[in-house]
Structure 1
Amino acid sequence: MNHQELLTKQVFTLVDILWSHGVDEVVISPGSRSTPIAIAAELHPHIKTYVHPDERSAAFFALGLSKRDHSPVGIICTSGTAAANYTPAIAEAELSHLPLIAITADRPHELRDVGAPQSIDQNNMYGNYVKYYTELPPADAHKSALNLIGTKVMQCSRYFNGNETGPVQINVPVREPLIPDITRTDLFYREKAVRPEYQLTDHALTELTGTGLVLIGETMETLSGIEPVLDKDYLAVIADPRQHIRKTLHNTVTHHDLIFNALDEDQFSYIEENVDYILRIGDPLTSKAVNSFLSATEIPQYLISEHQNLKTFPIAPYQAFVGQVRGTLKNIEFKPGGRRFKHWFSNMDAAVESHIDLNIHQYTDEGRCTYEIFKHTEAGRSFFLSSSMPVRDGERYDTVNTHTIYANRGANGIDGVVSTALGMASKQKVTLIIGDVALYHDMNGLIMSKLEDVDLNIIVFNNNGGGIFSFLPQYDNQDHFERLFGTPLDLDFRHTAALYDFNYHEVNSYADIDSRLVNAAGRNLIEIKTDREQNLKQHQQMKTEIGDMVKSIGY
C-alpha cells in the first residue's frame, strides 16, 4: 500500500472509532499538518463539525458543546503552538469533568528536535490536566496498526463518562503528503458501541440520622426526580445557582451567601446545636461565606462525589463516597430528626428574598440591573454567568429561580467565557452576563456567531475595569489599585458588535431593561455602563441591610 492509502486508513479509522464511542461533534481549527484528520471528520456522515480559526477559543467552544449533557466532543488542531492554545480549556475541562478529546496533529519523529518549523514537544503536553494520553505511530502497513487505534480509543473512552470523566489527548504524527483519499468513505462503517454503565462503589452511604443540612453543588448528573427523597421536614437544603434542582425542590435555600455572611455567634451556635450532620453533594458551592462556615463548624460532614478525584474543599469531610448521586441518595435511610431548624432556616431565606424584592427599588447598581434581567427573562432561556461578579450577583439577586444557570467554575477563570457560552447557545437559547474585562479577554470567540450562525444575547456590564477587585483587600491600597487591579480599558463595545454582526443596545439605567430587550431573538449585545465606586457602595449597603435583618431573626 502507498502512503496515501495507509494515511487514509489510519485517520478515517481513528475518527470512525471515536464516533462509535460517542464523539458526535468535532471542532476543527484550520492547519496544514492536521489536514487528513480534519478531512476525515468533515467527511464522516454522522459527525457534526464546526470550524473555528482560533484554537484557544475553539477549545472553549467545544467545552460549551459538552457542558449541558457532558457529551464527548473532539477538538482537532495542527502541530506546534496551536496545540498549546488548547491548554486553558483543557484545564477547565479537567476540573469540570468534561470529556474533551484533543486530537493534536504532530510532526513525525524525524522532524522533532532538529529545528523543523512548527514543531514543539507535544508529548503529554497537557500534563496533569488530561486523564489519558497516547500517541499513535505514523501510518504504516504493520498488521497491528488498526487494532492499536481501536485499543487506544477504547482505553481513552473510559473517561468519556462515569466517575473519572475528563479530557484526553491523542497525539497523531503525520508524514507528508497530507491529503487522504476522500473517496474511501467505506471506512466509516462501524456502529455505536455500548457505553459502560456508571456503577456505584461498593462502599456506600446507607444511613443518616437526625436533622440534616444538605448542600448541593453542580453535578454532572441531573437530579430531576430525586425531590421526594430530599423533601423532608428535617432536611434543610441549600442549592448552588448551577444546581438546577433548586427550581423544583420545595423550600430550597438559595440566598445562603447573604445568610452565612451575616450570622452572629448565637446563630452559629444554634446551627451547631440543632444540626446533626451536613451532607455535601457534588462540586463545592460558589459561596465563600458558606465555605467559611464549613471550615469552622464541628458538625460531621459527609461528601457524595460523582468522581474519584474528590473535591474536598473547603475542608476534608468525615467520610466521602463516590458514585451516582441519585442512586446513592435513594439508598440512604434517612432517620428523622427535629423540624425546628429547617423551619427557621427556610423562613430566614424567605425573609432575605422578600427584603430584596421590597427594597430593590432603592438601588441603581449592577445588582439592581441583574435583578431586572432575571425578572424579565423568559423561563425557557438559560443563563451563562461569567466568573467574578456576574456569577456572584446571579446568586445574590436572582429571586425568581426559574432559569437554568451555567458557569465555568472549574478553574473559575475569565478566559473562554464567550466561547463556552456560544457552544451552549448552538443548542439552546442562552443569555451571557459578563464584565467588560472578560468580554475583551475572549472577543475572538465571537467569530463563531458569524461562522456558525449562532444566536446569543450578551449583556456586558462595562464598569471600565475589574469590578470584583473593589470587593477585595487590594482595594485598600489606593496608590496602586487602579493601575494594577482596576485596569480601566476604556472600551466602547458598539464597535465589537459591529465587527461581529451583533445588534447593539446601550442601556443607561435599570429602567431600560424590559422583556422585549432581554428576550430579543438573534445576536444581541447589550452594554450596561456602570460606575465601579457606586456599585461597591450599593452592594455593601444591601449586604449591610440584609445582615442586620438576618441577625434580628430569632428562634
Structure 2
Amino acid sequence: MSVAVFNRRWATLILEALTRHQVQHVCIAPGSRSTPLTLAAAAHPHLICHTHFDERGLGHLALGLAKASGQRVAVIVTSGTAVANLYPALIEAGLTGEKLVLLTADRPAELIDCGANQAIRQTGMFASHPVETLDLPRPTPEISARWLVSALDNALAQQTHGAVHVNCPFAEPLYSEDNGEHQDWLQTLGDWWQGTQPWLTYPPVQHPAVQPDWFSWRQKRGVIIAGRISAGESELLAQWAEQLGWPLVSDVQASTGNPLPCADLWLASPQAQGVLASAQLVMQFGGGLTGKRLLQWQAACQPEEYWLIDALPGRQDPAQHRGRRIQANVAEWLLAHPAQPQPDWAEELEQCSQRALNSVENRLEGTFGEAAAAWLLPALLPEHGQLFLGNSLIVRLVDAFAQLPAGYPVFANRGASGIDGLLSTAAGVQRATCKPTLVLLGDISALYDLNALALMRQCSAPTVIIVVNNNGGQIFSLLPTPEAERQRFYCMPQNVEFSHAAAMFGLDYACPDSMSALREAVRQCWQHGGVKLIELKVSETEGAECLRDLVSEVSAS
C-alpha cells in the first residue's frame, strides 16, 4: 500500500504546483490509472472539477474554459486511447493560444510494448503540437519533491500559449487508505506550502514593441484588418481606427461593431478594390480570418508594408507579405502607438458597404432560412451575454451578413476550424463566464459532438443552442465539388431531426417555422432560464445560394 500512498503524494504536489500557475479549473474523465491525479484534484480546496465521459469532448470543454477565462486549464485522463482523444483540442489550442495542461496517466515503462492492457506508447505521441512536453518518471521517494515541482514550473514557464503535455506513469496499486506515510517527502518543501507562488519563477521577458517610425506611418493611407482579438481589444481598435481615419475591415471574431459591414460582399466590388489598392500600409490585428473575399484581398494586396500584430508567435500570414511581424499584446501595442486624428481617406468604402447592406436587406427581409437567421442574429443575442459560433457555412453567413454589436464577446474554434468539439467548447465558455450564451452551429457539427449535450445540462445561465438543420454539410455547395458525387461524398445528408436528442438529455426543444417564432422561442429562454435546443429546419441549399447570389450582385454594382 506504500506505493499507492506515495502515488497520491506525488499527484498532490503536481496539482498544488498547477494552482501556483493560475490553474483553477480541472477537467476529468473516468479512469483507473489516473486515480492518484483525480483524487488529488478532488481534494484540493481551490480547484473546480468538471467531469465528462468522453475525452475528446473533455478536451474541448477545457478549451472553452481556457478561451473564456484566459487562464490555464488542466485536463486529467487515464492511459491508452483516452490520451489520443485529446489531440483535436490540443491542436486547436496551439493555433488559437489557449493554455491547456494535459495530465495523462500512463503505465510504467515495464508494461509498454509487452501486451499489457490499455498500454500504448504515450511518450511523444503529440509530436510537435504541445509547446512543451514533460515525461515524468515513475513516482518514487528517491526523487526529491524539489525536482518534481521545479520540473513542472520550468515546463509551465515555457507556455506562452497552447498546451503542455505532462505524462504521468503510475505503478499499481492505485487504491488505498491514506495512512499518513510519506508526508515527510512533501514537507521537504517547507513553508512553500503556506504560500501562493511557484517554487521556481521565471520573470517575463520584455519585448520592445514600439515602432520608432510610427509617427510617419500614421500620416499615410492605411487599412486595418481586425482578426481574432478579444472584445476589449476590439473596442480599443475601433476607436483607434476611427481617430486615424483609416477603414477598418472586421472579421466575425472581432467585436468592433463592424463599421463597414458585409465586407465579404463588398470586397468583391471593383470600386472597393480600386480604393484599397492605394493603401500604403495594411495592419492586421489577430489571425484566423474567416471571409473568403477578405482572405483573397489580403493575399493579393501590395502595400508598401504589411504589419501583423498578435500576441501569438509565428508568421500568422499565409500570404507571406513583406513587412513586420510584431508579437505583442494588442491593447498594449495600441496604447504605445497613439493615433493622429485625421479625416477619412477612403469614404467610398462606406458607400460600398451600405449598398451591400441594402442588398442583403432587400434579399432577406420577410424570409425564413439559414441566411435570414445569420442576418438577424444580433436581434437574438441576450443582454450582457456572449455568442459562440460554429464552423463551416454558418460562420461564413454570419461574417457576410450580420453586424454584431461592439464589445459583444464572440467565441469560435477558428484555429484548425474543425467541427469535432464545438458544443463541448461552447459548454466550457459558458461555465467559465456564467453568462447567458447563444450557440449557433450546423446539423453535422451538432451530430459530431452530440454527447456534449450532457455538458449543457449544467449551464449556470440561460443558454440557447440553435442547430441549423440544412441536412448535411452544405459548405461544400460553395466549393467546386463534383456535382454527381457532392451529396454522397461531401454533404452526406443524414435526414435527422433533433427533438429526440433534446429529450434524451433533458433539454427544452423548439422547432420554429418563421423568424418571429424563432425570436419568441429565444426570448422565452432568456426570460425563463434553462437550456433550450432550437432546431431550424431550413432549405438545403438556400444559405449557400443566397451568399453566392449576393456576392455576384454586389460585385456587379
1:329 to 2:323 alignment: no
Matched to 1:365, the amino acid is: G
Residue aligning to 1:420: 425
Is 2:255 aligned against 1:213? no
What does residue 106 of structure 2 align with? 106
Please say if 1:375 is aligned against 2:374.
no
| Equivalent residue for 2:207, pick from 181, 190, 201 | 201
1:506 shift after superposition: 1.0
Distance 1:237 1:153 in 2: 43
Secondary structure of 2:440's counterpart equals strand
Specify the alignment match of 1:398 in structure 2.
Answer: 402
Residue aligning to 1:537:
545
- Tell me the distance in 1 between the aligned counterparts of 2:319 and 2:177: 54
Deviations 1:7-48 (A, max 9, x none): 222110111111111111100000000011000000000000
Kept in 1, the 8 Å contact 2:62–2:74? The answer is: yes
Which residue number in structure 2 is paired with residue 263 of structure 1? 269
Contact 2:72 2:100 in 1 (8 A): yes
SS of 1:177's equivalent? coil
Does residue 385 in structure 1 map to residue 389 in structure 2? yes
The count of corresponding residues between Structure 1 and Structure 2 is 535
CA contact (8 A) 1:461 1:530 kept: yes
- Range with greater deviation from structure 2 (322-331 or 413-422): 322-331
Q: Is the 8 A contact 1:17 1:190 kept in 2?
A: no
**Contact 1:458–1:525 (Cα < 8 Å) also in 2:** yes
Mean CA deviation greater in 206-215 or 230-239: 230-239
**Contact 2:457/2:507 (CA < 8 Å) preserved in 1?**
no
Letter of the 2:550 partner, please give it: M
Deviations 1:198-255 (A, max 9, x none): 65523642312411101121136941555553332532212222122x13xxx73342
Q: 1:227-376 residue pairs with structure 2 within 5 A? A: 228-244=239-255, 246-247=256-257, 252-260=259-267, 262-264=268-270, 267-273=272-278, 275-299=279-303, 300-332=305-337, 339-341=344-346, 343-357=347-361, 359-361=363-365, 363-376=367-380
Indicate if the aligned counterparts of 1:63 and 1:423 stay in contact, CA closer than 8 A.
yes
Q: Secondary structure at the match of 1:458?
A: strand
Distance 1:151-1:395 versus aligned 2 partners, 3 A rule:
same
The aligned amino acid for 2:398 is G
Task: From the superposition, tell whether residues 221 and 122 of structure 1 become closer, same or farther in structure 2 (CA, over 3 Å).
Answer: farther
CA gap of 1:400–1:177, structure 2 versus 1, over 3 A, is closer
CA distance in 1 between partners of 2:123 and 2:311 (Å): 29
The verdict on how the C-alpha distance between 1:122 and 1:400 changes in structure 2, with shifts beyond 3 A counting, is closer
SS of alignment partner, residue 116 of structure 1: coil
Contact 1:216 1:282 in 2 (8 A): yes
Question: C-alpha distance in 1, partners of 2:523/2:413?
Answer: 22
Q: Rate the CA distance shift 1:400–1:129 in 2: closer, same or farther, 3 A.
A: closer
1-structure distance, mates of 2:239, 2:539: 45
Structure 1 residue 500 displacement after superposition: 0.7
Q: Determine the structure 2 residue equivalent to 1:152.
A: 151
- Structure 1 distance, partners of 2:332, 2:112, is 50
Which of residues 438, 460, 468 is equivalent to 2:467? 460
Name 1:59's counterpart in structure 2.
59
The one-letter code sitting in structure 1 at the alignment partner of 2:400 is R
The equivalent of 2:48 in structure 1 is 48
Distance 2:121 2:230 in 1: 33
SS in 1 for 2:150: helix
Q: CA deviation at 1:190?
A: 4.7
Q: Secondary structure at the residue paired with 1:192?
A: coil
1:139 CA drift (Å): 1.3
Q: Distance in 2 between matches of 1:3 and 1:233?
A: 66
- Which of 155, 159, 162 matches 1:166? 162
Q: Specify the alignment match of 1:27 in structure 2.
A: 27
Aligned equivalents of 1:535 and 1:98: distance in 2? Answer: 32
Write out per-residue CA displacement over residues 78-126 of structure 1, whole angstroms, 9 at most, x where no aligned residue: 0000101111111111111111111000001111111100000000211
TM-score norm. by structure 1 comes to 0.90
Residue 120 of structure 2: SS of its match in structure 1?
coil
SS of aligned partner of 2:154: helix
1:129 aligns to what SS in structure 2? coil
Structure 2 residue matching 1:123: 3-state secondary structure: coil
Structure 2 contact 359–550 (Cα < 8 Å) conserved: no
Tell me how far apart the structure 2 counterparts of residues 507 and 200 of structure 1 sit (CA, whole Å).
54
Partners of 1:210 and 1:338 within 8 A in 2: no
Aligned to 1:481, what secondary structure does the other structure show? helix
Distance change in 2, residues 1:18/1:180 (3 Å): farther
Report the residue type matching 2:412 in the other structure: A
Q: Does 1:502 align with 2:507?
A: yes
Q: How far did 1:147 drift?
A: 1.2
Q: Which moved more, 1:424-433 or 1:394-403?
A: 394-403
Matched-pair contact (CA < 8 Å) for 1:353–1:399: no
Q: Which moved more, 1:206-215 or 1:396-405?
A: 396-405
Aligned to 1:430: 437
Structure 2 length-normalised TM: 0.90
Change (3 A) 1:348 1:309: same
Query: Contact (CA 8 Å) 1:505, 1:525: kept in 2 or not?
Result: yes
How far apart in 1 are the matches of 2:377 and 2:41?
40
| Contact 1:373 1:518 (8 Å CA) reproduced | no
Contact 1:135 / 1:170 at 8 angstroms: preserved in 2?
Answer: yes
Q: CA deviation at 1:450?
A: 3.3
Alpha-carbon shift at residue 538 of structure 1 (Å): 3.0
Shift in alpha-carbon separation, 1:432–1:182, aligned structure 2, 3 A: farther
Spell out, residue by residue over 1:309-364, the C-alpha distance to the aligned partner (whole angstroms, 9 max, x if none): 231223334121112222222223656776331x2223432443344345521543
- One-letter identity of the residue aligned with 1:532: E
Aligned-CA RMSD value: 2.5
Aligned to 2:536: 528
Of all paired residues, the percent bearing the same amino acid is: 25
Q: What code does the residue aligned with 2:147 have?
A: L
Q: 1:86 to 1:454 in 2, by over 3 A?
A: farther
Structure 2 SS opposite 1:384: strand
Which among 533, 537, 547 is matched to residue 555 of structure 2? 547
CA distance change for structure 1 residues 233 and 136 in 2, over 3 Å: closer, same or farther? closer
> Residue 177 in 1 paired to residue 173 in 2?
yes
CA distance in 2, matches of 1:45, 1:504: 37
Shift of the alpha carbon at 1:283? 1.1
Report the AA paired with residue 219 of structure 1: I
| AA partner of residue 146 (structure 2) | N
Q: Secondary structure at 2:260's aligned position in 1?
A: coil
User: Residue 159 of structure 1: CA displacement?
Assistant: 4.5
Residue type matched to 2:423 in 1? V
Q: Note the residue ranges of structure 1 that are not aligned, 5 or more in a row.
A: none
Q: Distance in 1 between matches of 2:443 and 2:488?
A: 16
| Rounded Cα–Cα distance in structure 2 between residues aligned with 1:96 and 1:447 | 26
Confirm or deny: 8 A CA contact 1:108 1:174 kept in the other structure.
Answer: yes
- Deviation at residue 422 of structure 1 after TM alignment: 0.8
